[in-house]
Copies of this chain bind each other. A is one copy, B any other.
Amino acid sequence: MIGALLSIPSFDLSARVHHRLHSRGFREITDSNSTVMKLLGPEGDRITELANKAGVTKQSMGYLVERLEAASYVERVADPRDGRAVVIRRTKKGWAYNRAAAEEVAKLQEEWTQLLGPAKMKELKSLLAELVAKLGHHYEGSYLEAVTRPPGQRRGSQARS
Interface residues of A in 3-60 (CB under 8 A from B): 3-10, 12-14, 17
A139 to B3 CA separation, bound complex (whole angstroms): 13
The answer to whether the Cβ of A70 comes within 8 Å of any Cβ in the partner chain is: no
A124 close to B131 (CB less than 8 A): yes
Asked if A1 meets B161 with Cβ closer than 8 Å, knowing A8-B137, A13-B6, A116-B134, the reply is yes
Interface size bucket, A side?
A: 35 or more
Contacts of A7 in B (CB 8 A): 10, 14
Of A116, A135, A137, A161, most buried by chain B (CB within 10 Å of CB) is A135
Tell me which of A61-69, A83-91, A143-151 binds B.
Answer: A143-151
| Chain B, residue nearest A108 (CB) | B2
A132 close to B2 (CB less than 8 A): no
Asked if A5 meets B116 with Cβ closer than 8 Å, knowing A10-B10, A12-B135, A137-B12, the reply is no
Contacts of A144 in B (CB 8 A): 1, 4-5
B128 close to A6 (CB less than 8 A): yes
Question: A13 contacts which of B2, B134, B146 (Cβ < 8 Å)?
Answer: B2
